[in-house]
Amino acid sequence: MIESCGIRLDFTGTEGFLLPAEVDAMEPAVAAAAAELAGGTSPGADFLGWLDLPSRITDDELAAIEAEAERVREFADAWVVVGIGGSYLGARAVLEALGGPADGAPEILFAGTGLCSASLQDTLRRLEGKEFGVGIISKSGTTLEPAVAFRMLRALLVEKHAGAGAARRITAITDQARGALRTLTDQEGYHAFVIPDDVGGRFSVLTPVGLVPLAVAGVDVRGLVKGAREMQKVCDTAPLRENPAHLYAAVRHGLYGKGFPVEVMSSFHSGLRQLQEWWKQLFGESEGKGGAGIFPASTVYTTDLHSLGQYLQDGRRELQETFLVARSAVGDLKVPVDPDGRDLDGLDYLAGRSLDEINWKAFEGTRNAHLEGGVPCTTIEIDKVTPETVGALIYLFEKAVAVSGRLLGVNPFDQPGVETYKREMFRLLGKPGAGS
């Protein structure tokens, strides 16, 4: 058990599959990987800006983000975040983990996350009769999915608000000097924030990419940054057994070498679903290269115990499971006494007990069952989901995947495989210069 920043990591459920001595033997390799990152000598070193980002964020930067959020709230009933992959997943993950927009904040919608016409049409319907703004997040401004959505949303704003009226309702988060979106931003006079050149999309939630949408939603972004800062300090610790990110990276990598190439992140808190989605992108894009890498998957229990639970319990023994669990969500929601006194559903033994308590017992029972079924289990436990604990989790996972990628011998900061589908898609669409 290791505890830091309100987060407890329990690896006892892996010890029947990976001996503690085997984990300890990985300390030199982990230290070498961490030294590469700290010294800027790892592959992809141009994208290491996330490593000390929490400690570099200034009060002035946060104040500017908060001021933009206040400006948006003055006119917007709804605010559409337009982006794909790392340009929206981090913000959406944090927002949903913390229970959605605060009272008085605009409704937050997401567009440009794919090319499904039904999804975009649903977003457009939800904007009918509302004053809305748009936050377009793209380094280039030409990525197909968000570019299509932005063109349509921008057309709506121009139709509704002539000239500067449309421009003041658009916030651009983009490159400082290059790209189509930067050109348009400068020409139209959009309010703008910069995506740092040295931070890749999946590591960008603590840049304006994530912080601006979260501030608009009324999230305590200072608390989020505070939690990440605290975890950054902890993850600078050298001894393996005192560093939660390094230890997590070592254990999952050790299990990978033991024949467990799939990691399932399981939660009992539906609000953490999007955080699991962000985790899947972070680890999948960072590690899945050269025929190597742990495949990241996710489940939300107890719902998925009635679908995927059978496979987890009795399927192929190639899964390692990481439980991401919160002890409490809505503590005052309790099971009532049967109103007619007959107890036909047999639940009176639970009367007066909170759903959080019952859910926690479901977690403990599931972990015990999966261990008995041959699944190595890691537990990442927090008492309550807060901006501080979510910020700490974000940094923990970012540092862990960077170390884990180097243990695999890959560059954790590129994604060459993503370009393959784009080439084929553009060829089939007849994009000029895309080939035939």
Q: Among residues 326, 305, 325, which one has the least CA distance to residue 377?
A: 325
Please say whether the beta carbons of 390 and 382 come within 8 A. no
Residue 4, classed as helix, strand or coil, is strand
Catalytic site includes residue 431:
no
Q: Among residues 190, 245, 166, which one has the least CA distance to residue 68?
A: 190
The angle formed by the CA atoms of residues 111, 114 and 115, to the nearest 5 degrees, is 105
Element housing 383 (H / E): strand 377-384
Candidates 160, 384, 422, 431; catalytic one: 422
What does R_g of the chain's alpha carbons equal in angstroms? 23
Q: For 276, list phi and psi in degrees, rounded to 5.
A: -65, -40
Count of all residues that appear for the chain in the document: 436
- Residue 176 tokens read as 């400082």
DSSP H stretches of helix in 325-386: 355-372
Cα–Cα distance measured from residue 384 to residue 393, given in angstroms and rounded to the nearest whole number: 12
Give the list of residues 6+ apart from residue 53 with CB closer than 8 angstroms, or none.
196, 199, 206, 207, 228
Residue 202, classed as helix, strand or coil, is helix
CB atoms within 10 A of CB 24: 11
Catalytic site includes residue 253:
no
Catalytic site includes residue 422:
yes
Cα–Cα distance measured from residue 435 to residue 224, given in angstroms and rounded to the nearest whole number: 45
Give the list of residues 6+ apart from residue 75 with CB closer than 8 angstroms, or none.
131, 133, 168, 169
Candidates 68, 263, 277, 285; catalytic one: 285
Q: Among residues 106, 87, 91, which one has the least CA distance to residue 145?
A: 87
Burial of 330 by CB count in 10 Å (0-12 exposed, 13-18 middle, 19+ buried)? exposed
Residues taking part in catalysis = 285, 306, 422
